[in-house]
Amino acid sequence: MSIIIKFKACLLRKLTNKRSVDFDLKETSNVLFMRYDRIGDMVISTPVFRELKREYPHLKVLVLASQVNKEVLQNNPYVDEVIINNKNNFFADIASLIKLRKQKLDVCVEFDHSVVPHTILRLRIINPKKIISVTKHGRYGVPGVELLMYDYYIKKAKDTHLRDIWLETLQPFGIKPKSNQYDLFCTNSQIQVSKNFITKFHGKFLIGINLEGAVKGKRIRNTELEQICRGVKQENIDIQIIILTSPKNHQAVSKLVKDMELNYVAVGFKTRTILDVAGLIKHLDLIISPDTSIVHIASAFDKPIVSIHEKNQDSYQLFSPTSSLTRTVFSPRENSINGFDVRKVIEFSNELIKEIS
């Protein structure tokens, strides 16, 4: 073991060498959840907030969110406060972390199943009475059981979706979840905007295609998109394909759609928040996507899904679609969807269209 690794191991032990506080979880008045990462992770965490609040409605539920995923929690009645965290700028977070420390929080739930130094540092500053997390294997040669700051470890059962693993963090409270359905709360205004948009496609079977994900290598290329559109249209006359895109890519995707010159393909309206996107997805009949965030949003509304995933069964098990009707096309590559079988996407889409119609 190198000197640098030994030093990091020593530092990790010191940072996590926190004395246990004698505290009964039944007396909990507030719980902080650490969830400052991606949109999809926040979506599949929403059942945890709801199930906790159902059993303990008096609890104050706080969530440490990111600038990217905070919008998922807008209008959520099970979350009392959202605090923004800058994952890659620790010094920008010191004021909010100290503010949390002053609240003398009872419990913090940290969802990471790996050892994340910047998370541990934040936990030390916040200093909750009890910390709940998922079983960790350790880091820098330090086993997870030696990280004394964690009071409760939840076992990560094999072949289990992350949604259900995270719901198990409620075990120490004695909670048995009644539902693992995701929660998204679009406003009436957001729903109406979507309704107004799709009115012009009245009587059509509406297919939403999302082109790319947040992770590099998850993108449907232009030629692949056109093949999918033509292939699905060939078998289904009364369809309308709507391309879902982020605000920053809306102009480029609009040009792409115009250049394709397919009158049954249109770009979605320019959205501002992820709940605007959710409002549109709520009114579509089928979703095709390489991005797990869009897959999880579609799953929240139990929409039929054709997902495109890299060749990684472990990742798929954790983040797979949870809708009643789903199909998945796996690429031949472990770290990207490059080379995925376009014909399979068309075949699976046609299968679901027939099953729904």
pLDDT tens across 274-294, in order? Answer: 999 999 999 999 999 998 999
- CA dist 328 and 305 (Å) reads 8
Q: Are strands 205-210 and 152-154 parallel, antiparallel or unpaired?
A: unpaired
List, as one string, the DSSP characters of 54-111: HH-TTSEEEEEE-TTTGGGGTT-TT--EEEE--TT-HHHHHHHHHHHHHTT-SEEEE-
Chain centroid, CA 322 distance in Å = 12
Whether residue 294 contacts residue 282, with contact meaning beta carbons closer than 8 Å, is answered with no
- CA dist 322 and 320 (Å) reads 6
Kindly state whether residues 149 and 266 are assigned to the same domain. Answer: no
* Token duo for residue 181: 């359905």
216 pLDDT tier (thresholds 50, 70, 90): confident
- Summarize the confidence of residues 129-133 as an average pLDDT: 96
Is 179 a member of any domain?
no
Kindly state whether residues 26 and 167 are assigned to the same domain. Answer: yes
Kindly state whether residues 198 and 168 are assigned to the same domain. Answer: no
Structural domain including 101 reads 3-173
Kindly state whether residues 237 and 163 are assigned to the same domain. Answer: no
Q: Which residues contact 144 (CB under 8 A, 6 or more apart)?
A: 115, 135, 136, 137, 138, 150, 153
For residue 265, the model assigns a pLDDT of 98
Kindly state whether residues 192 and 277 are assigned to the same domain. Answer: yes
How many domains does the chain fold into?
2
Kindly state whether residues 159 and 50 are assigned to the same domain. Answer: yes
137 has pLDDT over 90 = no
Query: Among candidates 176, 208, 158, which has minimal Cα distance to 54?
Result: 176
231 pLDDT tier (thresholds 50, 70, 90): very high
Kindly state whether residues 145 and 292 are assigned to the same domain. Answer: no
- CA dist 348 and 141 (Å) reads 45
- CA dist 73 and 42 (Å) reads 8
Q: Which residues contact 336 (CB under 8 A, 6 or more apart)?
A: 216, 217, 218, 310
Q: What is the pTM of this model?
A: 0.94
Kindly state whether residues 192 and 168 are assigned to the same domain. Answer: no
Kindly state whether residues 91 and 169 are assigned to the same domain. Answer: yes
Query: Among candidates 221, 235, 237, 214, which has minimal Cα distance to 342?
Result: 221
Kindly state whether residues 30 and 66 are assigned to the same domain. Answer: yes
**Which DSSP letter does residue 139 get?**
B
- Summarize the confidence of residues 175-201 as an average pLDDT: 96
Query: Among candidates 71, 86, 51, 36, which has minimal Cα distance to 297?
Result: 71
Kindly state whether residues 245 and 194 are assigned to the same domain. Answer: yes
230 pLDDT tier (thresholds 50, 70, 90): very high
- Summarize the confidence of residues 172-184 as an average pLDDT: 97
* Token duo for residue 275: 């709940």
**Which DSSP letter does residue 231 get?**
H
For residue 1, the model assigns a pLDDT of 60
Whether residue 45 contacts residue 51, with contact meaning beta carbons closer than 8 Å, is answered with no
87 has pLDDT over 80 = no
Kindly state whether residues 158 and 228 are assigned to the same domain. Answer: no
* Token duo for residue 95: 């004021």
- CA dist 115 and 174 (Å) reads 26
